[in-house]
Structure 1
Amino acid sequence: MSAASRPIGVFDSGIGGLSVLRDLQSALPHEHFVYLADNAHAPYGEKTDLYVRQRTHAITDHLLAEHHIKALVVACNTATAAAIHELRTQHPQLPLVGVEPALKPAVALSRTGHIGVIATRGTVASDKFARLLGSVRGQAQFTVQACNGLALAIEQSTLPGSAETAGERIAELLAQYTAAMGTFGTAPGQMDTLVLGCTHYVFVENQLQALLGPDVQLVSTGEAVARQTRRLLEAAGLLRSGPAPVSAAQRMRLFTTGDLNGLQAAAQRWLGLPAEACHKASPNI
């Protein structure tokens, strides 16, 4: 197998990274992908940095050894914040793309100059996020909210028998956390832009929009990640050149360390993939 024909690896603590995978497969129609959802150890945002670093290294090593990936997208804000600097040191030849809350794009979009940010506790507490926030200091006012339990509720919304309860929990948490942040809107001093600092949160965009109103802008990172992945592959001469695009089901293989039914339901709902595209991951990860 030539280097360019190898797949791109993508992983997250669970199903949230499917939102990034969706943008990747749209921007890179010739590429093949291997996605790993570490559901058995989710949510990362409520684990220690050490734990997240250990899981990140274990999954990276697995994707390299078992799937011979040519590039890696860390589709998890918490894992990016905790471990991507170590991955770059340990794998200097591997094109690596992480995700981070889209604060700079939000500054460009906001008209009131007041921006909300929702993310996991792990992301909000990280040194990487502190540096990112420092890089835009003075350019806007930021109200940051850690959303404990929200990523987990979104995960559980795909599990058989849990959808209704999880849906109620999601609505409750969204109302609780957005109310705690202050007033959203387009009047002076109000937050007119909300940064979704966790890839899971993209899957509740419609609920957030309904809650905050149509004039509040929601900003996520998937499209920017896809563009950066393409740039790195082009620079390394690793873009897959053909044949003609095949179906998403033929280009993507999804694995989970946790509940297979949940991944299958999420892949069907958000990517239109059949159950056969999803598999249980090797138990030794």
Structure 2
Amino acid sequence: MLILPSFNRNGPAMANSAASAAIGIFDSGIGGLSVARAVRALLPHERLLYVADSGHAPYGEKTDEYIYQRMHVITQQLLASDAKAIVVACNTATTAAIAKLRAEFSVPIIGVEPGVKPAVLASTTGVVGVLATPRTLQTPAFSQLSARYAGSARILLQPCPGLVPLIEALALKSPELRQLLQSYIQPLLAQGADTLVLGCTHYNFIAEVIADIAGPAITIVRTEMAVAKQLQRRLSELGLLNSSAEPAPDHFSSSGDNALFQRQLQQLWCL
């Protein structure tokens, strides 16, 4: 099993208090950067450690046990690198194994799940479409989430194979990606969906393309800021918010192609 490279330790010396420790964020690739951007915007004084587990992507093709083992290894790495909280910025990992991860570690662990509840509340037709990876939609955790919040709404599930590799390749406005999106979105609209849930953090980076295809009458539900706010609440409850007035440095690591990761960061980490 590949061990992730060490984090860059350049930057200001760390204070000794727990509140000055870092927030660890990881995903199977670059999708979690959208969550990290929301965390950075909401909590500018926190120090972020981000891991893209691209060397083991896509998680959607792996078993729950494999995903959990990767989550465990990365969490240990982040804790060894001074993380005070962990954000699992991946819908597939959250639905597959976050409960098991929380049972193993005592630090706050925040997950991300498709925004079914806000989508149902926003819908006027009572028909909600969920765009997600096939693996996320197949998990018992997602089925429970959908059943819990659906109420009288009709939840349409749309697996979206092929999108994540294109996003990882930075083909964000390519004809191939747009064609795939049209094939996934149009059937949902034809069935009356007026609200679309982005059930994969990667999809946040193509939200504008999705909105353009769906049209102005369709509501797009994203959850990255909700995750950042939940992280803020948990840190506040535990007295772990960083009180420093200075912006904190961000540190990034990948288990995949570092040259590609640098290009991804240059294009997507624009704050």
Q: What TM-score results when the alignment is normalised by the length of structure 2? A: 0.90
1:150 equivalenced with 2:163 (yes/no): yes
| Superposition CA RMSD, Å | 1.6
Kept in 1: contact 2:34–2:204 (CA 8 A): yes
1:17 equivalenced with 2:17 (yes/no): no
Measure, in 1, the Cα distance between the counterparts of 2:257 and 2:50: 15
Measure, in 2, the Cα distance between the counterparts of 1:46 and 1:176: 21
Kept in 1: contact 2:120–2:150 (CA 8 A): no
- 1:282 aligns to what? none
- 1:176 aligns to what? 183
Measure, in 1, the Cα distance between the counterparts of 2:269 and 2:71: 24
Q: 1:62 aligns with which of 44, 63, 77?
A: 77
- 2:219 aligns to what? 217
Q: Partner letter of residue 253 of structure 1? A: H
Q: Partner letter of residue 170 of structure 1? A: L
- The count of residues paired between Structure 1 and Structure 2 equals 256
Report 1:75-86 matches (<5 A).
75-86=89-100
Measure, in 2, the Cα distance between the counterparts of 1:199 and 1:88: 21
Q: Partner letter of residue 168 of structure 1? A: P
- Unpaired runs of 5+ residues, structure 1, are 158-162, 184-188, 274-285
Helix, strand or coil: the match of 1:117? Answer: strand
Identical pairs, percent = 46
Measure, in 2, the Cα distance between the counterparts of 1:137 and 1:5: 40
- 1:125 aligns to what? 138
Measure, in 2, the Cα distance between the counterparts of 1:206 and 1:152: 18
- 1:241 aligns to what? 243
Deviation at 1:182, TM superposition (A): 4.3
- 1:194 aligns to what? 196
Q: Partner letter of residue 186 of structure 2? A: A
- 1:208 aligns to what? 210
Kept in 2: contact 1:113–1:141 (CA 8 A): yes
Q: 2:107 aligns with which of 94, 97, 100?
A: 94
1:113 equivalenced with 2:126 (yes/no): yes
Measure, in 1, the Cα distance between the counterparts of 2:18 and 2:41: 21
Measure, in 2, the Cα distance between the counterparts of 1:227 and 1:171: 31
1:263 equivalenced with 2:264 (yes/no): no
Kept in 2: contact 1:74–1:99 (CA 8 A): yes
Deviation at 1:173, TM superposition (A): 1.4
Q: What TM-score results when the alignment is normalised by the length of structure 1? A: 0.86
Deviations 1:251-274 (A, max 9, x none): 21111111122222222222227x
Measure, in 1, the Cα distance between the counterparts of 2:63 and 2:179: 26
Helix, strand or coil: the match of 2:252? Answer: strand
Q: 1:47 aligns with which of 56, 62, 82?
A: 62
